[in-house]
A and B are shown apart, each in its own frame.
Chain A
């Protein structure tokens, strides 16, 4: 193990490490803690300049205010309406493309694969105007469906990379054996490969959920009204309205951040497995 395990060090070093850990964490998460505390501070404290002292009371009412006086509930609903179809659509498409590219050897396989890979790296701005026009022409401009459709297409690139590598690492004998038995190709996909892909599907669903929930750029480009905007874009426009009302901005931020945070803590193992794909040989 590197560095040398701390248990082998002197007691002084061990104690120092145990003290350093929480201190470092506190410093690291400082902006987050500050915002979390501000979200519970009554507005009167802020008006009196009490930004960092002990709050005069714990104001959960800030959260109630955010929900009652802003469309944040609608924004969150919109975020779900974009995110969930995207996760499902992307997984369906990329399980199929991953299967095609991971199992079969045909001419152009590698080229198609790297087309998907390269598409991932493209700056969004080069897609912006044509995608906006396309969405408009499809009659889907300013709808959650139009936004989800683009996300499905774009995320398919990333997920194909992941799925293809996952499937290519499965033991080939399984597929060969099934073919010898005369099993149809689509049955091989459905009954043999798909059940083995569960870990990959779990990892990608949390990752895609987080990516799409947190997307801001496409939300601003493809949606414009409170009835369709996801929470990232919504929060940005609320920030414009709530100038200096930091107790509300903070509460809104916490609310917007919560779903991916919960997702991360519930599915941590899968999340990290997905993110660190390829980080080890």
Chain B
């Protein structure tokens, strides 16, 4: 026993600095590879097939993608994704505005800060239901308000020209809260001596904000932009809860349209769904590679 154990031990001893990280990484990396990395490649492959989820896969080549080009629902979804991206960006300045408003030390301000942050903690399903209630025709509060002002209420979610904007407004609510909390943390860490120095130089208000505060808020702003872009492209829950893509498919976005094609009663077209997902992935990749590139650069700088 002793003779076999000693060389074993010393071998382990000599190599433990190399082996420990491998052993510690293995379970997490394996799970991640199986559930996240491999499915990405698998979806790419699937997008070249006709597949209903049960039967045989039939090779189609690029036919799914060619079909996308002519698909009007796909174009609507793509257009809506762009609208989402652009309007969602409002969360970044709006969050900053609320953060500046709340960055005081009056009594009870902490409770105000947490209550303003509240919408982010609630599930998007619940947020969607709340706004659906707010917009509801005939009795919804917004409907009533518009009726009071113009004499005729507007059922936002039933109007194909307005519904997407109504959903985006609902999405902005928690997103602004998220950006606000990032900026509040950032504002807390702005160097006080720089502000005092700038004040002595006569800087105040917007000038102070632009030249002194914003440059110091850059890390917070970067994260706010990243999470907002991802949030905009991930918009699925609200569309599903508030309109199911309607009226007349006017509120579809790529994530929702993909789900509709691949898993809903409209048919199990998983290959076609995968092709939509690949396009969405491509759009996301443009942003991701930018973010990652910046993060890698910061990482190198830190070492």
A residues bordering B, Cβ < 8 Å? 1-7, 17-18, 21, 24-25, 28-32, 34-35, 38, 49, 51-52, 93-94, 96-97, 99-101, 103-104, 106, 109-110, 112, 114-119, 121-134, 149-150, 152-154, 156-157, 160, 184-186, 189, 210, 213-214, 216-217, 220-221, 232, 235-236, 239, 246, 249-250, 253, 256-257, 260-261, 264-265, 268, 272, 275-276, 278-281
Contacts of A217 in B (CB 8 A): 236-237, 259
A-B interface, 3 closest residue pairs, ranked by CB to CB distance from nearest:
A153-B35, A130-B39, A214-B123
- The reply to whether A52 and B141 form a contact with Cβ atoms under 8 Å apart is yes
Which listed residue, A6, A51, A118, A132, touches B288 by the CB 8 Å rule?
A: A118
Q: List 26 A-B contacts (CB under 8 A).
A: A1-B190, A3-B100, A6-B104, A17-B104, A17-B106, A94-B28, A100-B22, A101-B21, A114-B292, A115-B32, A116-B32, A125-B254, A125-B273, A153-B32, A153-B34, A154-B36, A156-B28, A216-B237, A236-B125, A250-B133, A253-B129, A264-B118, A265-B114, A272-B185, A280-B185, A280-B189
Contact of B25 among A101, A235, A256 (CB under 8 A): A101
B190 & A2 in contact (Cβ 8 Å cutoff): yes
- Chain A residue, CB-CB nearest to B213: A2
Chain B residues positioned under 8 Å from A131 (CB to CB): 35, 39
Q: Which of B40-48, B60-68, B83-91, B159-167 contacts A (4 or more CB under 8 A)?
A: B40-48
Q: A125–B258 contact, CB under 8 A?
A: yes
Q: Is the CB of A127 within 8 A of B103?
A: no
Chain B min CB distance to A83 (Å): 12
Assess whether B202 is interfacial by the CB under 8 Å rule. Answer: no
**Additional 4 contacts, C-beta under 8 A, given A126-B277, A128-B259:** A1-B190, A122-B36, A126-B278, A128-B277
Q: Are A260 and B186 in contact (CB under 8 A)?
A: no
Q: Is the CB of A239 within 8 A of B119?
A: no
Verify if B263 is at the interface (C-beta below 8 Å from A): yes
- Do B25 and A126 have beta carbons less than 8 Å apart? no
Interface majority SS (helix, strand, loop, mixed), chain B = helix
User: Which residues of B lie under 8 Å from residue A246 when comparing CB positions?
Assistant: 133, 136
Q: Interface code B195-214, partner A: CB below 8 Å = 1, 0 otherwise?
A: 10000000010001100110
Residues of A within 8 A of B35 (CB): 127, 131, 134, 149-150, 153-154
Q: Is the CB of A126 within 8 A of B40?
A: yes
Is the CB–CB distance between B123 and A257 below 8 Å? yes
Interface contact B118-A29, CB-CB below 8 Å: yes
For B17, list chain A residues within 8 Å (CB): 104, 185
A97 touches B24 (CB 8 A): yes
B121 touches A104 (CB 8 A): no
Contacting pair B129 A129 (CB below 8 A):
no
Range for the number of chain B residues in contact with chain A:
35 or more
B276 to chain A: closest CB distance in Å?
7
Interface assignment of B146: CB less than 8 Å from any CB of chain A = no
Contact B262 A128 (CB under 8 A): yes
A129 and B262 in contact, given A2-B100, A104-B17, A279-B223 (Cβ under 8 angstroms): yes
Q: Given that A154-B36, A235-B125 are contacting pairs, would A279 and B186 also be in contact in the complex, using a CB cutoff of 8 Å?
A: yes
Interface check B234, CB cutoff 8 A: yes
Q: Which B residues touch A25, using CB under 8 A?
A: 112, 115-116
Whether A281 contacts B219 by the Cβ 8 Å rule is yes
- Residues in A whose Cβ lies below 8 Å from that of B204: 4
Residues in chain A near residue B223, CB distance under 8 A = 276, 278-279
- A122, chain B: closest CB distance, angstroms: 7
Contact of A99 among B24, B39, B185, B287 (CB under 8 A): B24
Taking a contact as CB atoms closer than 8 A, the residue among B31, B124, B131, B208 that contacts A153 in the complex is: B31
* Contact for A5 among B24, B104, B230, CB less than 8 A: B104
Give complex CA distance A13, B46 in Å: 63
Given A93-B31, A126-B281, is A3 in contact with B103 using a C-beta cutoff of 8 Å? yes
B232 vs chain A, min Cβ distance (A):
11
Q: How far is the CB of B202 from chain A (nearest CB, A)?
A: 13
Instruction: Find the residue from A153, A256, A265 having the highest chain B CB count within 10 A.
Output: A153
A272 and B181 contacting across the interface, CB-CB below 8 Å? yes
- Are B123's CB and A121's CB within 8 A? no
Provide the residues of chain A in CB contact with B175, threshold 8 Å.
Answer: none
Q: Assess whether B82 is interfacial by the CB under 8 Å rule.
A: no
- Chain B window 259-303, contacts with chain A (Cβ cutoff 8 Å), 1 for yes, 0 for no: 100110000001001101110110010011001100110010000
Q: Is the CB of A130 within 8 A of B219?
A: no
CB-based contact A157/B274 at 8 Å: no
- Bound CA span A176–B287, Å: 39
Nearest CB of B to A13, in Å: 11
Contacts of B18 in A (CB 8 A): 106
Query: B189 contacts A261, CB within 8 Å?
Result: no
A38 to B141, CA, bound (A): 12
B6 contacts A by Cβ under 8 Å: no
